[in-house]
């Protein structure tokens, strides 16, 4: 083999190796998935909420011929619409079909699917059998570890009506969250200063507490109407400067196990960056 042929052969080998490398390292659902956490099909909303809070997870699976998914939002909807104890509400009544993707589905496709269907979790299948689950939290973790992005937070953050006065009832606050399609609310005092935050988890904890005090207590007709949002809010508001990198925000979400952070500019909260925003950014970059 003369020198020209040798150089051509080397270049061809390098090109083939690069092609194989790109193919072999495309991240897939299988790379990110975790084992699904399931509850019995006869479980109640009370049991589901207890499991979610104990394990600090966003949702649960009910294993049927078509797997069902119960999210924190689903439980919150039950609080608002059901006029009975959460110990008497079947968990399966607030579930939805778990959307399944193939284990070899690229992570970017998974992100696009979550955004398109407005869901927080996907089941991962192999030959139509559920083998794992992937959530927006997993997407964010992948983003933090693998993506380089110089996009400004102002370009991806969510803005809108995410404030309520601290004297607002739990019922009205939760109603606003569900109507607005948001998963957190900032709480303001009488001067308009942000003093706390509530998420779906805040309502789950409160519902569990009151149900343990009295099974007859209901959110829709009882404590949800009489208790104020300021009584259940978390006073620590995790925030970042508008100049913070997206990767750093992703790391904060992972480290603190939260689904969103407030964005500040000149000591004023101007928006939120959530797992949904970072999922959208990953889908856009891929």
Taking Cα atoms as reference points, which of 105, 104, 101 lies closest to residue 125? 101
Query: Is 263 in a helix, a strand, or coil?
Result: strand
Sorted by where each begins, the domain ranges of the chain are 29-146, 153-285
Q: Cα-Cα-Cα-Cα dihedral of 19, 20, 21, 23, to 10°?
A: 90
pLDDT in tens, the chain (286 residues): 555 555 544 544 444 444 444 445 689 999 999 999 999 999 999 999 999 999 999 999 998 889 999 999 999 999 999 999 999 999 999 999 999 999 999 999 999 999 999 999 999 999 889 999 999 999 999 999 998 888 889 999 988 768 999 999 999 999 999 999 889 999 999 999 999 999 999 999 999 999 999 888 899 999 999 999 999 999 999 999 999 999 999 999 999 999 999 999 998 999 999 999 999 999 988 6
Distances (CA, A) of 94 to 11, 60, 236: 58, 11, 31
**What architecture is domain 29-146?**
Roll (3.10)
Residues sharing a CB contact under 8 Å with residue 75, sequence separation 6 or more, in sequence order: 45, 48, 49, 52, 86, 94, 200, 204, 207
Q: May I ask the CATH class of domain 153-285?
A: alpha beta
pTM of the model: 0.85
pLDDT at 89: 96
């Amino acid at each position: 083999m003369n020198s020209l042929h040798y150089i051509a052969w080397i270049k061809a080998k390098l090109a083939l190796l690069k092609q194989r490398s790109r193919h072999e390292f495309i991240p897939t659902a299988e790379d990110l998935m975790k084992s699904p956490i399931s509850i019995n099909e006869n479980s109640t909303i009370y049991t589901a909420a207890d499991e979610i809070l104990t394990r600090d997870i966003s949702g649960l699976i009910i294993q049927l011929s078509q797997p069902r998914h119960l999210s924190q939002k689903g439980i919150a909807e039950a609080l608002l619409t059901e006029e009975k104890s959460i110990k008497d509400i079947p968990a399966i009544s607030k579930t939805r079909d778990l959307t399944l993707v193939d284990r070899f589905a690229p992570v970017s496709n998974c992100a696009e699917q979550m955004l398109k269907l407005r869901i927080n979790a996907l089941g991962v299948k192999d030959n139509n059998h559920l083998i794992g689950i992937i959530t927006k939290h997993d997407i964010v973790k992948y983003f933090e570890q693998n993506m380089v992005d110089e996009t400004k937070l102002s370009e991806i953050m969510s803005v809108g009506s995410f404030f309520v006065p601290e004297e607002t009832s739990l019922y009205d606050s939760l109603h606003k969250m569900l109507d607005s399609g948001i998963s957190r609310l900032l709480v303001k005092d009488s001067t308009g200063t942000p003093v706390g935050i509530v998420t779906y988890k805040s309502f789950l904890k409160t519902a569990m507490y009151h149900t343990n005090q009295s099974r007859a207590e209901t959110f829709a007709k009882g404590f949800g109407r009489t208790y104020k949002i300021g009584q259940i809010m978390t006073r620590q508001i995790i925030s970042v400067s508008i100049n913070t990198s997206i990767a750093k925000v992703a790391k904060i979400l992972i480290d603190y196990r939260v689904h969103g952070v407030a964005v500040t500019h000149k000591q004023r909260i101007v928006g939120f960056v959530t797992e949904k925003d970072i999922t959208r950014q990953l889908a856009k970059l891929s």
